[in-house]
Amino acid sequence: MSEAKSAESRPYHHGDLRRALVDAARRLLEAEGPSALSLRAVAREAGVSPAAPYHHFKDKAELLDAVAQEGWEILGQQMSDAKAADQGLHQLTALGIAYVCFARDNPALYRVMYDAARDKEMLPAGMQDNKDSAYCMVRDTMIEHGADPTAEVDLELATVAAWCGAHGLAEMAGFKQFEHLKEQLGGERAFFDAVFGHMGLFPSMHGH
**To the nearest whole percent, how much of the chain has pLDDT over 70?**
89
pLDDT 10s digits, 82-141: 999 988 778 999 999 999 999 999 999 999 999 988 888 888 877 888 888 999 999 999
Mean per-residue pLDDT over the chain, rounded? 87
CB 28 within 8 A of CB 37: yes
What radius of gyration, in Å, describes the C-alpha atoms of the chain? 19
The pTM assigned to this predicted structure is 0.85
Name the nearest CA neighbour of 168 among 141, 191, 196.
196
CB 113 within 8 A of CB 72: yes
Q: Fill in the DSSP letter of residue 122.
A: S
Report d(CA 157, CA 147) in Å as an integer.
12
Amino acid in position 59 = D
pLDDT 10s digits, 8-51: 445 555 568 899 999 999 999 989 988 888 999 999 999 999 99
pLDDT 10s digits, 167-193: 999 999 999 999 999 999 999 999 999
What was the pLDDT predicted at 206?
A: 42
Domains in the chain, CATH or no CATH each: 1-58 (1.10.10), 69-205 (1.10.357)
CB 129 within 8 A of CB 51: no
> Which phi and psi angles does 41 have, rounded to 5°?
-65, -35
What was the pLDDT predicted at 5?
A: 46
pLDDT 10s digits, 142-172: 999 889 999 999 999 999 999 999 999 999 9
Q: Cα–Cα distances in Å, from 108 out to 59, 63, 96, 155, 163?
A: 19, 14, 19, 31, 19
